[in-house]
Amino acid sequence: MKYIVTGGAGFIGSAIVWYLNKLGINEIIIVDKLGKTEKWQNLKNLKFEDYIDKDEFINLIEKNIFSKIDTIFHLGACSSTTEKDADYLIYNNYKYTQKLCEWALKKEIFFIYASSAATYGDGNFGFSDREKIIPKLRPLNMYAYSKQLFDLWALRNNLFDKITGLKYFNVFGPNEYHKEDMRSVVVKSYEQIKLTGKVKLFKSHKREYKDGWQLRDFIYIKDAVKMTIFLFENRICGIFNIGTGKARSFYDLVKNIFEALSLPINIEYIDMPKDIREKYQYFTQADMKKLKSKGYKKKLYSLEEGIKDYVLNYLETSNKYLGKEDEKV
């Protein structure tokens, strides 16, 4: 059997390929668009059968040239939360996903796709991955809305007993280097520290939060991948949060980077740009009861453990990419 990973050269997609390789699965078709980015470097340590451009791929599926496909991991998307081209986002993140899902269902191929925790918006309805909550959610940006559109379509068509959706929270770790401004705060803070010896964090514009104590559910890429593979191996359908269930502050995050580098903590607090203040999330925390109810019991990296592994075993080394021969799962 073969496996298709769209967005397979991207951050989470390439990590999925890495883990599949760990399981002895190399019959993988990578679907992506490399363009002028450095995403190609995410592939250099990985084993796969073929690479297909994403625009060519969506045309090829109509010609029935693919056979013996077991699973599609659809991780490909425009993930920029600041993208302004709404038509592009709807086509790329909604219509493309819809077309691929319909083809997978027709061919009886297991379909796993990436939704996003950004669909929860300001968190007024909490962070539960219960399907009945989906219509109530109000995303804060066009990227999140394009993801919400597919979740709503899948819900209307009663597909969550046939497909699997994943709401990834704040994922960080190796293979995200190409994402430019959409990289995690971990790698951006690391670069600031190496260059200037200090980190800049946003001041709080809400009385109930101290400067730097805005909270996020940060999950290490290796845990995000393990959760994804658990659902794949057990053929579990539905929509699921992929997070830790424990919100941590940006202060905690940068503190651990300084400690991993054996440097004194040095933080400068700056004003948050006015154009994002109304859309800024001060708190996210995945409700993980649903995944645990399906039997997921693997121990997670703590924020401290994840940052230490990322900094010392990737950012501070000459080989920064997943797939090194001595890699530990």
In 165-213, alpha helices (H): 185-196
* Catalytic residue (choose from 143, 168, 301, 314): 143
269 counts as catalytic: no
Taking alpha carbons only, the member of 123, 142, 141 closest to residue 133 is 123
Is beta strand 69-74 parallel, antiparallel or unpaired with respect to 2-6?
A: parallel
In 157-288, alpha helices (H): 185-196, 221-233, 250-260, 274-277
Phi/psi region, residue 308 (left: phi>0; alpha: psi -120 to 50; beta: rest), is alpha
Distances (CA, A) of 49 to 14, 17, 29, 104: 14, 11, 6, 20
SS3 169: coil
* Catalytic residue (choose from 39, 147, 167, 179): 179
33 counts as catalytic: no
Which two tokens mark 164?
């699997």
Residues taking part in catalysis: 143, 179
